[in-house]
Structure 1
């Protein structure tokens, strides 16, 4: 099993303090995000610094706007496909913010309570890389196996759960290709 004690075995761990207990312990949805720091710049350690509250607001003009945020995600998938895990899946990461989603039966709010958050290093204009889709498909396969309430239909985007605030992972994310990659593992 690739998930043990809330951690995905292939991921490098960089622990974030930005998490707390899930109210009901439920894991039943997955939210895909995109992130680049500064915007449009890939690589470097700024994302890790943001999620661990160590981002230097003086290092770049944009950082002054976000350095004080207390945010996290469960996983980050880098451009080369490397996975970095910040929060165990059983804990509530702080990735969705104010959010709302129709899960097929009812409207639910506060997706952090029951969703896993995966950040893809990227932006909404630059195509995501094959290595990212491959890693994403592998981790999602393992999550679907480990969490029975999580199904492929319960994978969504930040844009769908917070449409007035967010647009990620954006039009550069190829949902059809992702589902094709994921299908190879199911």
Structure 2
């Protein structure tokens, strides 16, 4: 870069890599786009990892004998035994093999979509719904919790919505390619 009359100028090559983008981009700073992309991938991996660990019992939050492939019930145990408070009866009543399938499909779908940067609007709705249901199942949060209102479920839900609103899949993701697909151009809620 050179300076002319105290105003920086850039060569075209430097501009292509570091210049702010405009148009449809909500976040125009390169560093902010990359940081948001890194956060998107990390949050997506949280969902994807939960799916993998609960499916195969990788020994982190799910022991191998409790794995879904070994007959474990990924959502039923949580709904029947971790649910507390005024909504406990509701959550116990929905615990079933169907809740296992829906939960696992949700975790896989949201995880893949967010990591890949595609379908962020759908994953924002689905992931936020999953997080809201899990938050409500544990509400009111236990005494001794680090925060009586906002826990990681709320933070992940907000992050998913932000990713959709700022087109976070366009950086380090397949969002730009995805939005050019004819079906996505026709049905913009798939974006």
- When normalised by structure 2's length, the TM-score is 0.30
Greater share of helix residues, 1 or 2? Answer: 2
Greater share of strand residues, 1 or 2? Answer: 1
- Higher RCO structure (Cα 8 Å, ≥6 apart): 1
The structure number with the bigger radius of gyration is 2
